[in-house]
Structure 1
Amino acid sequence: MREKIHFFHTNDLHSHFTYWKRSQYFIEATRKMLAELGETSFLVDLGDHLDRSNLYTEATLGQGNIKMLNDAHYDVVTLGNNEGITLAHDELYHLYDDAQFEVVIGNLFSAQQKNPQWMKPYTILTTQYGTKIAVLAATASFEVFYKELGWEVTTPRAEIIKWAYALKNEVDVIVCLSHLGITEDELLAQECPIIDVIFGSHTHHVFENGRIENGVLLTGGGKFGQFTGHLILEFNHATKKLEKKSDRLYENALLPEASGETEWLLDIQQQAKQMLAQPVFYAAKFYNKEWFHRSQLSDLFAECMYEYTNADCVMFNAGIFVESLKKGFVSKYDIHKILPHPINVCVVHITGAELKEIFVQSENKDWPRLELKGLGFRGVIFGKMLNYGITMNHERELFINGVPVNAEQEYRLATLDLFTFGFFFPRFKYAKKEYFLPQFLRDIFIEYCVKEFA
């Protein structure tokens, strides 16, 4: 007997709900049809389903996302970095308490207490014909962030390989839900070819029909709800072997619109607005934002950064302000529209010589109009890099608050965590750093304004 087994898969939604309803309607209708044919199907998500740049996710701290996954009858999900490092420890610990699906993550452990009951290193799915499928999963190792938040994250490939070999004699098929990125998936396929399928995510790569690497089928479903994936496995019960595996992506924008789709999107937006509408402070005047030079809003935010970190100097990009700060009563909803990013403050310890190098790099004339994607940035364009407390004269001598910089002395530069990944300033990647977690930029800005405008 040859059995067809189906997996529908989603990944990296980042709370982009535009096509969520039509995608789930397509999956539900197809699964119903397959069930009538006597074929088993499963539904999995590969993480980064939530993103706190979305108002509904912010207002519910991800619980609204879990309700969506429940309503859509998911079977197994794993965590992405947006679940893992954008919530406080207690918020993540209880995120899946009401989940009606299995949560699999093999390389994350609470450093403060026993792991929550929902957290499992693997699960085994069984088809109606008795075929056993081991589902393993791991998430990207943002070690410094997890440690600050009270979690321990271990080497993902090592954990997956350990469980794959531990379970290989108990199951017929092994699949992995990977929130590691394409490079890690390729390495995993090379190191552990007993895995049959690696469902891929995190780097937002797109494989329209999957890709074979060392006999392992890799998938990639893009980002932001662009695609719904449909994997088909053909298992031969006589030989106990998986004889065929294939994957296909369906573009969600081209699927038929689901009934009530627009009304549902408006409803969750309205729910979020109401939940965040309570005023938190009163601004006596209007603070403008500018993307190509300093503004009243950037000056206010720089003062906030100084007070919060007690740093020697401050640096951030003007593009983080999506809107201006209005005069009058200001709510969390208003501040979220200004600073929607899941970005944290970081203090970097660097010498005066290094600071001079960073200052020169920050004057890059190509950056202000850059349409930055990722790294936590959720704005429109990068904007000018703004330096507070740092100046350079015509003789290219650097000063901090009017005092000449000592090339050998160590200074504390307050900046945004997105700059510490090495993309803009490679030196930051290896410098000593202090991350301020779990508060986002909007959280510390609200706290500052509440005191400032009291």
Structure 2
Amino acid sequence: MLETIRILQTNDLHSHFEHFPKIGRYLAAAQADTSVDEVYTFDAGDFMDRSHPLTDATKGQANIKLMNQFHYTAGTIGNNEGISNSHEVLEHLFDHVKYPIVLANLREEDESMPKWAKSYEILTTKKGTRIALVGLTAAYPMTYGPNHWHIKMLDHTMDQALPEIEGKYDVLIMLTHIGLTMDRWLAKHYPQIDLIVGGHSHDLIAKGEEVNGVWITQTGKWGNYVGDIHVELEDHQVKKIVPQTIATASLPAEPEDAKVIQGYLDEGQKILESEKVARLPEKFADDKEAAIHVSLDAIADFAHTDLAMLSSGLFITPFKSGILTKYDLQQALPHPMHVVRSTLKGSDLWRLVMEIEKNRHYLDHFKLQGMSFRGKIFGQVYYKGIEVDHQKRIVYVNGKEVDPLQEYQIANLDHYVLIPFFPTLAIVGDNEFLFPQFLREVVGDYLQREYPIN
């Protein structure tokens, strides 16, 4: 018995709503295809990004509403859903979702399944083929743990999940948000997988990639492409998989698209502008340095430290004098980053500062992507409580030369622990990731206290 299935894929949409009208029309037309036996539509995570005003204003509920209109068969989550949201926001993100979220490697702290997810889903085609869907997301214990989730490693998860579904499926499809390197690892170690519908690393695999007999597909990022995969089966077994990707830019636009896209921005802006944060004095008027220095005070206050560091590239726009709204903050600091309290011996703090100073001129214009960064360049590092005598290579902490044996605590960001330029932080820092607030919320709360509207 022959059977044909068409699989549609999105991944790493990141709230790029400017592509949603075109993507929606393409998916709807493909889902109506009667030349195949079945059409399934999957999303591989990072569909939301709080750098978009509407996503931020609605805590992702606008994304769910729009994703429901795409009529997905199933989806999984990415780190932007799992880490950039507080535990409470993620608990309610899928309250109104109309398709199953498959996710085998995330648990509540008591080891129970999240109420909004299931480890796997079994689909049955009209011709009786049983398709198992298993979901995986990137395993980041450093950041899931402080957010009160238990993230499980991929090998442990697979070795537990596969025996559970043994005998229940004919075709095994993984929905993964773990990146191409780990997708290849999965293919190498679990050849019983037929297809990996992947995301996370933003790789565009135009025609798919076959590894150890397992097909891997990714469509890049931001909805720039849609995946369209042709699967042929015989007697319920996969005989052929032919992946392709469709450039969203090549799809026809409609006259109303621009108005719809602008409407998403306007609606988010309107909601965020209605939420007033602080009344800032004249010194903040278009002065980026003033924004940086008060933000250093804010993260130090939040982390209960005397020392802090921030980079100027984080500040997309300066703050302003007068009433500051959540929209102003969202535009200035769109990054879904969290504050980290790092404990270092004085000798290691000296080394960290030397790493910063060594890289200073290089990073000032360095174009940075990923690691939760939503800006363009890294910029200059500013300190709170730290001064440097470059000629003598002496670091001063609160006016005193650093004691190599004393312990110091410095407030910084998860971003700085993850990027490769300051290895001391990651290698010897005792790093405590502070949840649930992320950077602009920490800064906003501090400004609200220091510069109240009334």
After TM superposition, give the deviation of residue 6 of structure 1 in Å.
1.1
- Tell whether the 8 Å contact from 1:335 to 1:446 is kept in structure 2 after alignment: yes
Measure how far apart 1:286 and its partner are: 4.4
CA distance in 2, matches of 1:377, 1:339: 10
Tell me which moved more, 4-13 or 252-261.
252-261
Partner of 2:169: 171
After TM superposition, list the pairs within 5 Å mapping 1:199-218 onto structure 2.
199-218=197-216
Counterpart Cα distance in 2 of 1:189 and 1:333 = 44
C-alpha separation in 1, matches of 2:174 and 2:422: 34
**Structure 1 CA distance for aligned equivalents of residues 123 and 299 of structure 2:** 49
SS of 2:362's equivalent in the other structure is coil
Is 1:349 matched up with 2:343?
A: yes
Q: Distance in 2 between matches of 1:398 and 1:288?
A: 32
> 1:311, 1:414 within 8 Å by CA — same for their partners in 2?
yes
Cα distance in 1 between the residues matched to 2:286 and 2:224: 32
Counterpart of 2:424 in structure 1 is: 427
**1:2 matched residue in structure 2:** 2
Q: Provide the residue aligned with 2:56 in structure 1.
A: 58
> Contact conserved, 2:54 with 2:268, CA < 8 A, in 1?
yes
Of 332, 335, 339, 2:333 maps to 339
Secondary structure in structure 2 of the residue aligned to 1:90: helix
Match of 1:385 in 2: 381
| Equivalent position of 2:70 in the other structure | 72
- The letter for the 1-side match of 2:338 is N
User: In the superposition, relative to structure 1, how do residues 444 and 13 fare at CA in structure 2: closer, same or farther (>3 Å)?
Assistant: same
What's the % identity of the aligned pairs? Answer: 32
1:111-190 aligned within 5 A: 111=109, 114-190=112-188
Counterpart of 2:178, as a letter, is: L
Task: Give the secondary-structure state (helix, strand or coil) at the position aligned to 1:424.
Answer: coil
SS at match of 2:218: strand
Q: Choose which of 309, 321, 327 in structure 2 pairs with 1:315.
A: 309
Within 5 Å, which residues of 2 pair with 1:25-424? 25-32=25-32, 34=33, 36-111=34-109, 114-237=112-235, 240-258=236-254, 260-278=256-274, 279-287=276-284, 295-363=289-357, 364=359, 365-393=361-389, 394-424=391-421
Aligned mates of 2:111, 2:256 — CA distance in 1: 43
> 1:451 & 1:112 partners in 2: Cα distance?
36
Offset from partner CA, 1:99-121 (integer Å, 9 cap, x none): 11011000001116843433100
Structure 1 residues 266 and 287, CA, compared in 2 at 3 Å: closer, same or farther?
Answer: same
SS for the counterpart of 2:374 is coil
Moved over 3 A (4+): 112-117, 288-291
Question: Counterparts of 1:236 and 1:398 in 2: how far apart (Å)?
Answer: 70
Change (3 A) 1:290 1:206: farther
Give me the whole-angstrom Cα distance separating, in 2, the residues matched to 1:422 and 1:375: 7
* 8 A Cα contact 2:17 2:264, kept in partner: no
1:142-196: CA deviations, max 9, x gaps? 1121111111111123313432343242211000011111111111111100000
For residue 222 of structure 1, give the secondary structure of its aligned residue in structure 2: coil
8 Å CA contact retained: 2:306, 2:384: no
Q: Structure 2-normalised TM-score?
A: 0.95
The alignment's C-alpha RMSD in Å is 1.6
Q: CA deviation at 1:309?
A: 1.9
> For residues 355 and 290 of structure 1, do their structure 2 counterparts lie closer, same or farther at Cα, with a shift above 3 Å needed?
farther
CA distance in 2, matches of 1:157, 1:259: 49
Cα distance in 2 between the residues matched to 1:215 and 1:58: 41
Counterpart-to-counterpart distance in 2, 1:130 and 1:377: 46
AA paired with 1:386?
Y
List per-residue Cα deviations over 1:194-250 (Å, max 9, x = no partner): 00011121111111100110000011211111110011110002xx42110110010
- Is 2:287–2:319's contact at 8 Å kept on the other side of the alignment? no
Q: 1:378 to 1:289 in 2, by over 3 A?
A: farther
Contact 1:94 1:116 in 2 (8 A): no
CA distance in 2, matches of 1:121, 1:296: 48
The answer to whether the 8 Å contact 2:313/2:380 transfers is yes
Matches of 1:306 and 1:197 in 2, distance apart? Answer: 47
Distance 1:349 1:79, change over 3 A: same
Q: Is the 8 A contact 1:201 1:220 kept in 2?
A: yes
CA contact (8 A) 1:289 1:298 kept: no
Of 386-395 and 68-77, the range deviating more from structure 2: 386-395
Paired AA for residue 24 in structure 1:
G
Question: Which one-letter code corresponds to 1:29 in the other structure?
Answer: A
Q: Give the match for residue 21 of structure 1.
A: 21
By how many angstroms is 1:442 displaced?
A: 0.9
Comparing 81-90 and 386-395, the one that deviates more? 386-395
The more displaced of 392-401 and 182-191 is 392-401
What code does the residue aligned with 2:252 have? P
Q: Alpha carbons of 1:88 and 1:304: their partners in 2 closer, same or farther (altered >3 Å)? A: same
Change (3 A) 1:286 1:251: farther
Q: 1:258 to 1:132 in 2, by over 3 A?
A: farther
**Are the aligned partners of 2:120 and 2:135 in contact in 1 as well (CA < 8 Å)?**
yes
Deviations 1:244-267 (A, max 9, x none): 011001011111114522121111
Which residue in the other structure is 1:440 paired with?
Answer: 438
- Counterpart Cα distance in 2 of 1:232 and 1:338: 44
> How far does residue 135 in structure 1 lie from its aligned partner after superposition?
0.4
The question of whether the paired residues in 2 share the 8 Å contact of 1:179 and 1:202 is answered with yes
The SS at the match of 1:256 is coil
Q: Which amino acid aligns with 1:277?
A: E
